[in-house]
Chains A and B, each alone.
Chain A
Amino acid sequence: MSMWQIQRAGVVISIHLKSKAAQEFLGPIVDGLHATQVSSVRDIQLVVDGEAGDWTLTDHEDNFERKLKLDGDLIYHFTDRIVFHVANNAKDVHCIHAAAVAYKDGVIVVPAHSGAGKSTFTTWLVANGFDYITDELILIDKDLKIDGIGRPIQIKANGIEAITPLLTNNNYARGNMANAVPVACLGGKIVEPGSNRLAAFVFPRFERDSGFSFAQLSSAEAGLNLMNNHVNARNLEDHGFRAMMGLIRTTPRHSLKYGGFADLPNDFAQQLKALCTDT
């Protein structure tokens, strides 16, 4: 089947994978985004046509069309359109520019701007036994449940070398904008929708040769960082400020600085898992 719908926070995105090649290549990725196959849709937004080496991505809502040669670039732009539409139109949830992973029912949220290394850190977390939610956008609802856009992890060309030791296979999609790394390449899996709870915020900062530090963060510093990564504040009462500050006050929060995976202590994954299982 070629028609799909993604529903998040009242936003409905319809997708048509037009060609057989598009269905075979993007079908598993769309499925990983917890989309639903449908027999027909009234207003198609995203259309993917063509074949490997000659893809066409069209976003009818924004009159956006792009010809793409590399599979990784198709995934990058395709999932970027989905992230954009959700973040732009979601109203009753907080959309945060953040990665998120889960261990048991506890979720660690990793808010950071582009380039701070959150996708790279996410690969390490998944390779170390965490289940994957997203590397880009989380949605926090009024009951503090966490959802995310679970696209393949996007690793820039200059970052692929760092994560290569973590890969169990090299079946990732190469791209100029980013390489798209499915969590299966890391031996991980995507979290199924359901109940979970926010366990901790970790604010990462990658600095080459900086060494390792992992420390509690003041509520003010964490609140400032969180609001700087809040992407749909304009759609929310009080711009989401008071709700997010309330969340920050009651949630463990840490800063992480590291210069490479080699800096991370052997028991660091266990420390983070303990945060997820603490009640």
Chain B
Amino acid sequence: MRKVYLDNAATTPLLSEVREAMMPYLGDIFGNPSSLHDWGDGARDAIGHARTQVAQLINADPDEIIFTGSGTESNNFAVKGLALAQQAKGKHVVISAIEHFSVLHSARTLEKWGFEVSEVPVDIHGVVDPDDVLQQIRKDTILVSIMHANGEMGTIEPIQEIARITRERKIPFHTDAVATVGTTPVNVAELGVDALSLAGNQFYGPKGVGALWIRKGVRIMPLLDGGIQEEGRRAGTENVPAIVGLGKAAELAKTHMADRIKRLTPLRDHLLKELPGRIEHVVVTGHPQHRLPGHASFCVEFIEGESMLMLLNSKGIAVSSGSACTSRALKASHVLIAMGLSHEIAQGSILFTLGIDNTNEDIDYVLETMPPIVDRLRQMSPLYAKFSKTVKGGK
């Protein structure tokens, strides 16, 4: 059976070049980077090299990169650490309604700690309006955190415009760029933000490693106390092989970015255009143009996402869904609801996130496999039966 992996937003595979770069650090070069002998030197040099590779990917200074254990940790660190460091100036934080749980739930924790959090809405395409951010900003606002792109529906947000607002008011601005770094050009100088999260497993690096970029001079409170690793901002012995892998993946992403985008965009557009053409009552979620290169997301009406996912899996195709049933919390995706979709429609969420291994044939296989699956589930669906009766009754 054909196997087609279209869940790269969940995680990308590890490139063989990345694995090769990591191998020595799972072997002979095992030293602790904090050690002062030769063993430590080797590991320390490797981390320094990776720091430069990651910095170059986002046009930053290597000293501004803090390695973390994941995108989630980077987001927790940024939201809580920046808020705590600025709390003498105020206790108000602005986020958007479509943030990843690692930002959203960090903000909830801040509320428990006595901070106030305002949420900026999004439009039907999932776009944050910078004017809405401006409206939420108060005298005591000490942090704005708005994601660069949403992994669930692919929309890229107007970060530069929002940064203009925050810079004028000298409010630290963090962006969760886990979905964009390594897949689209990200230049921290151009974006104008003060802190930015990224994760290795989004661009063919290893899992369990991420980074937070933080502009020089911006204060942050460490979440982990201990030794002076990462200049005392993130204690704990470094995950050297993973950091090396992240660095290598960053270098490869920079080298191949233009080619990858050129290859993925037409595949994405083909899927975005063709799927709603072949199946009735399918809506594209997210912005039609301003979206991640390999990202095609939809809601299929009258059926539920998990059952679609499972039937696609039985045909060798891996996808994700934002339906209530696929979430452990058993709630429909807050992202889709924030975009104004009804719960009923959000249940039919399905998302295809393409990677560098995907081909035209893969997309054709999806386009061929999807309609009978949707048809089969609709034949089973009481919602579809009701809809069909209404339509027939209306005639």
Q: Do A and B bind each other?
A: no
Residues of B within 8 A of A (CB): none
